[in-house]
Amino acid sequence: MSDPRITPFSGRVAHDSLSGQVDAPAFTSGQAASITAPIVDLLRRPGGPRDRQLLRGAQVLELDRAGAMSFVLWDGYCGWVDQHALGAAQKPTHWVHAPATHLYTAPDLKSPETASLSLGARLRISGETGAFLHTDCGHFVPRQHVAPCTDHAPDPVSVAESLLGTPYLWGGNSRAGIDCSGLVQIALHAAGRACPADSDLQEHAFAPHGLPPGSAAKRGDLLFWRGHVAWVTDPETILHANAFTMSVAYEGREEAIARIAPESPVTSHIRLPAP
């Protein structure tokens, strides 16, 4: 059976790319849309558990609707989101590179904030006033917290390190809460690199860059266990969103390997090539 996380088929409607591959009552090319909420859960099914989260400005294809929920395809991943989190497709111009920021009602740091945005959120900027940029929703964001979408972070590990202390949240993808695979994905996306959403999908996608067992660790390497992934920050240290500390935290590499060993040995040591 196809993996439902990456198979754009709601059970009623399938994406055109699956024509001839699945027995679907209907097929569609989908309707382009943008996430307009600061953050929204991507559910396995309407009313079901969270698989991932989408941030403001994420570009999706809406494939189906059921009640107040929409089945969407985002970056190769599928699930259901609240329709109220969807708006007309708007190509973003900037992304939030600070760990978090606020939208304000006016270009004034003393004005009321209207929303909190996480690292990785995307905005369409239409103008500027002093130290603030005008957003497509009519609110204002500090210039220091955003960068053009064409500007990528040079070091994904530094991006991940900026989220140190973020609380652990299963399926989380934001500064408000994040899990192990979310920490890898948000950092690689900030660096302009493709990355699947879940640790097993990441391990499979990056498998061609695996190193032999016993290889020396280097900053930027990824260590995988069954159901878990961590960044290597230096040869002796890893950074991961983990349930042991319930946060994004540093941990000694050998200590972590020994602690996790009763549940799983290291299954892959991967060194991604330079972009």
* CA distance linking residue 123 with residue 56, whole number of Å: 7
Say which amino acid occupies 121: A
* 181-196 mean pLDDT: 98
Q: Which residue has the tokens 């369409």?
A: 124
* 99-103 mean pLDDT: 98
* CA distance linking residue 43 with residue 80, whole number of Å: 5
DSSP per-residue codes, the chain: ---GGG--B-SSEEEGGGTTTS--SEEE--EEEEE-SSEEEEESSTTS-EEEEEETT-EEEEEEEETTEEEEEETTEEEEEEGGGEEE-----EEE-SSEEEEESSSSTTSPEEEEEETT-EE-EEEEETTEEEETTS-EEEGGGEEETT---S-HHHHHHTTTTPBB-TT-EETTEE-HHHHHHHHHHHTT----SSHHHHHHHHGGGB--TTPPP-TT-EEEETTEEEEEEETTEEEEEETTTTEEEEEEHHHHHHHHTTT----EEE-PPP-
pLDDT tier at 2, thresholds 50, 70, 90: confident
Q: Indicate if the pLDDT at residue 152 is higher than 60.
A: yes
Residue 130 confidence (pLDDT): 95
Give the pairing type, strands 26-28 and 94-96.
Answer: unpaired
* 124-149 mean pLDDT: 96
Residue 191 confidence (pLDDT): 98
In the chain the domains, ranked by start, together with CATH numbers, are: 4-88 (2.30.30.40), 94-148 (2.30.30.40), 156-270 (3.90.1720.10)
Q: Indicate if the pLDDT at residue 1 is higher than 90.
A: no
pLDDT digits (tens, 9 = 90+) for 13-36: 999 999 999 999 999 999 999 999
Q: How many residues does the chain have?
A: 275
- The distance from CA 127 to its chain's CA centroid, rounded to whole angstroms, is 27
Beta bridge partners of 31: 62
pLDDT digits (tens, 9 = 90+) for 3-18: 999 999 999 999 999 9
* 135-148 mean pLDDT: 95
Residue 258 confidence (pLDDT): 98
pLDDT digits (tens, 9 = 90+) for 210-269: 999 999 999 999 999 999 999 999 999 999 999 999 999 999 999 999 999 999 999 999
Residue 77 confidence (pLDDT): 97
Dihedral of CA atoms 165, 270, 256, 226 in degrees, nearest 10, equals 100
* CA distance linking residue 180 with residue 141, whole number of Å: 28
Residue 265 confidence (pLDDT): 98
What integer best gives the mean pLDDT of the chain?
97
